Amino acid sequence: MRGLAQSYREALARLRVQALLDPGSFSEWVGPTQRVTSPHLAALEAPVSFDDGVIVGQGLLHAHPVIMIAQEGQFNGGAVGEVHGAKIRGALLRAVRDKPGAVLLCIDSGGVRLHEANAGLIAISEIMRALFAVQEAGIPVIALIGGACGAFGGMGIVARLCDVIIISEEGRIGLSGPEVIETVKGVEEFDSRDRALVWRITGGKIRRTLGEATLLVDDDIAAFRAAAGEMVGARSLFLKKRGLNPTTSSLQTLQAAQQQLGARAELDAEIRDGQVLWSRMGLGDQVSLMSPEQFNRRLEALES
């Protein structure tokens, strides 16, 4: 047994990487000693980071070789700029060549880095294409989401392209952040300061409920490690059991997904709050009290 739980949300990306992988197994590519920083941030006199806010490298997870990509949410909200995006793309292209057991993608990002918005948008598109290439090579990509920035903007799309999404209750996934919606559409549409509401719209439990995430875990790095380890170790078995996103999309699987998403879009207009959905499913107000394990079990029972 480990000692006290180490919060995934509170940890810096470097600590997450160390604690997720087998002790001492991680080696980094183009790390901070190489000081490959963003020239665009420097031009705006904004602070730079020696790793441009993302760590890429290889290591072992329960003795299986994996490629690790971890965004640092505390640097510019984990946002993707030219260098940051190129590091992720390079690691994905390397996965196609090296064929690791899996790619772990620790997303903690608001999306495109606005200081270099054009480069960031193209970079995310390049990441999407590289991610498809990894999946076409038969290598699963596992997203881990539990940082304070969640997975938003283009990185929300990237998250959903992954084969498996492990998320904590505090983790969030979406496209437009609440602040953006509030700024453009007004506080009546989305009050970004109402944290409970934000959680009911984009948080781990609602994402797991809708099938937008695979597994809910505690906000504990060891819990993320155990869940990712289970999937890498028994990946074919796992994908068969929970496979929302088969590694290679076929016409049949995408036609089935089209039906499923179509049915969800038909939900009536009343549904503007996760609570309404939970009430209709008979989960009522118990949701916030349920542990991740209880919640997963309850949903699996409802799904079967």
Binding mask 10-49 for other proteins (x = CB under 8 A): -------------------xx---x-x--xx--xx-----
Binding mask 203-242 for other proteins (x = CB under 8 A): ---xx--x-x------------------------------
Q: Does 279 bind other proteins (CB under 8 A)?
A: no
Inter-residue contact 107 to 143 (CB < 8 Å): yes
Instruction: Determine which residue in the list 49, 71, 202, 247 makes contact with other proteins, applying CB under 8 A.
Output: 202
Core vs surface per residue 239-253: b (16+ CB within 10 A) or e: beeeeebbbeeeeee
Instruction: Determine which residue in the list 12, 15, 137, 180 makes contact with other proteins, applying CB under 8 A.
Output: 180
Closer by beta carbon to other proteins, 66 or else 159: 159
Q: Which stretch binds other proteins (CB under 8 A): 5-13, 84-92, 214-222, 296-304?
A: 84-92
- How far apart, in whole angstroms, are the C-alpha atoms of residue 133 and residue 137? 6
| Strands, sheet with 141-145, edge to edge from the N-terminal-most edge strand | 27-28, 54-61, 64-71, 102-107, 141-145, 164-168, 215-217
- How far apart, in whole angstroms, are the C-alpha atoms of residue 100 and residue 138? 10
Q: Give the ranges where 243-273 is alpha helix by DSSP (H).
A: 251-265
Binding mask 116-135 for other proteins (x = CB under 8 A): xxxxxxxxxxx-xxx-x---
Q: Which stretch binds other proteins (CB under 8 A): 16-24, 113-121, 221-229, 233-241?
A: 113-121
Q: Does 72 bind other proteins (CB under 8 A)?
A: no
- How far apart, in whole angstroms, are the C-alpha atoms of residue 6 and residue 12? 11
Q: Which stretch binds other proteins (CB under 8 A): 2-10, 13-21, 256-264, 296-304?
A: 256-264
Q: How far is the CB of 144 from other proteins (least distance, A)?
A: 17
Q: Give the ranges where 203-273 is alpha helix by DSSP (H).
A: 204-209, 221-233, 235-242, 251-265
Q: Does 5 bind other proteins (CB under 8 A)?
A: no
SS3 63: coil
